[in-house]
Amino acid sequence: MTVESAAAPPAKRAIVIGASSGIGRALALRLTREGYAVGLAARRLPLLLELQAEIGPRAFVRQMDVSDSARAMALLEELIAEMDGVDLIVVNAGIGHVNPDLSWGSEEETIGVNVQGFAAMANVAYRYFVRRGAGHLVSISSIAALRGSGVAPAYNASKAFVSTYMDGLRHKLARLGSPVAITDIQPGFVRTAMAQGPHVFWAASPEQAAEQIWQAIRRRRKRAIITRRWRLIARLMRLLPDGVYHRLG
Positions marked active-site: 155
Query: What are the φ and ψ backbone dihedral angles of 93, each rounded to 5 degrees?
Result: -60, 130
> What residues contact residue 225 under an 8 Å CB cut-off, 6+ apart?
143, 186, 187, 188, 231, 234
What is the per-residue DSSP string for 56-87? -TTEEEEE--TTSHHHHHHHHHHHHHHTT--S
Task: Report which of 181, 143, 124, 140 is spatially closest to residue 23, judged by C-alpha positions.
Answer: 140
Q: How far apart, in whole angstroms, are the C-alpha atoms of residue 120 and residue 124? A: 6
Close Cβ partners of 140 (under 8 Å, ≥ 6 residues apart): 18, 23, 24, 90, 91, 92, 94, 185, 187, 213
